[in-house]
Amino acid sequence: MSTAVVNVNRSLFRGLNLRQKTLLIIGFTSLLLLAIVVSSLFIDGESLSTDFGSKNLAPSLEHPFGTDWMGRDMLTRTLEGLGLSIVIGAFASLISAVLTIILGLLSSAGKTADSLVSWLVDLALSIPHLLLIILISIGLGGGAQGVIIGVALTHWTSLTRVVRAEIKQLKTQEYIHISRNLGKSKWWIATKHILPHLIPQILLGTILLFPHAILHEASVTFLGFGLSPHEPAIGIILSESMRYLSAGYWWLAFFPGLSLLIVVLAFDLIGENLGKLMDPKNAHE
């Protein structure tokens, strides 16, 4: 019976074209990430209360991720930490996308503006991301606000370079020259002709910024320069678990780290499949 069901499912999946398979993967992965965020919002303080009678319990049916040194359920802590990381990554990526749009439109204004944008990109790339995030976070007093701004101000460069290259190509198109000859302003050309063509790249680039933003947020927090210790962030969970690994409590770092990896790979999977949909060669297969 089970073999027949598996064969039917395989035949149904084989019957899907590339577009349908891609949409199915995007939908399933997005639901997984949405479920993590929604579940983290419904976690109350009682779920994270201490229970010293249940401390350092190994993974079981009652506690699938085990418990920590204060008896707190690690599955609950991991879900809340992942939800917080996704929210921080979302805000940071959106701010980076806004900066990219502003700088991209600025680069289309002329050679001087384009040189200024190129100089800003090179300046930001000359400083290691992690170091710059730490400096910005410390300067803003740490916390979620400092991490979001720090990540946002360091992750716009790669997307800006892609957008700037696309703008250079668009400016050579015939309809751009026609608009100039008709007396249209640079701002009109930038907003009516150039910006609509940049939306797919900006959308895809923003999604691909998520895993970088989440990993850098976790890294900075792990090093002690990000979120405050009372926040249920993945970086804090991993940092605290380092003290207990030598005692054999491997689950304190394994499951949160694995969950963070799955979330990062999920965003990469969404970005990769969105890229397939936006590729004219694959969009209609």
Q: What is the pLDDT of residues 137-153, one digit of tens each?
A: 888 877 788 888 888 88
DSSP letter for 138, please.
H
pLDDT of residue 258: 92
Give residue 203's Cα distance to chain centre: 12
Residue identified by tokens 């962030």 is: 233
Residues 129 and 216: their CA atoms lie apart, in Å, by 8
| Residues 195 and 101: beta-carbon distance below 8 Å | yes
CA–CA distance, 105 with 92 (Å, rounded to integer) = 20
Extents of the domains making up the chain: 19-42+74-278
Taking the C-alpha atoms of residue 153 and residue 97, their distance in angstroms, rounded to an integer, is 10
**Three-class SS of residue 140?**
coil
Give the pLDDT confidence score for residue 9 in this predicted structure. 47
Q: What is the pLDDT of residue 5?
A: 40
Question: Among the CATH numbers 3.40.50.620, 1.10.10.10, 1.10.3720.10, 3.90.1150.10, which is that of 19-42+74-278?
Answer: 1.10.3720.10
How does pLDDT run across 249-278, given as a tens digit for each residue? Answer: 888 889 999 999 999 899 888 888 887 777
SS3 of 203-233 = HHHHHHHHHHHHHHHHHHHHCCCCCCCCCCC
pLDDT in tens, 110-122: 788 888 888 888 8
Q: For position 280, what pLDDT does the model report?
A: 56
Q: Which residues of the chain have pLDDT under 70?
A: 1-18, 45-47, 279-285
Q: Phi first, then psi: give them for residue 128, nearest 5 degrees.
A: -55, 135
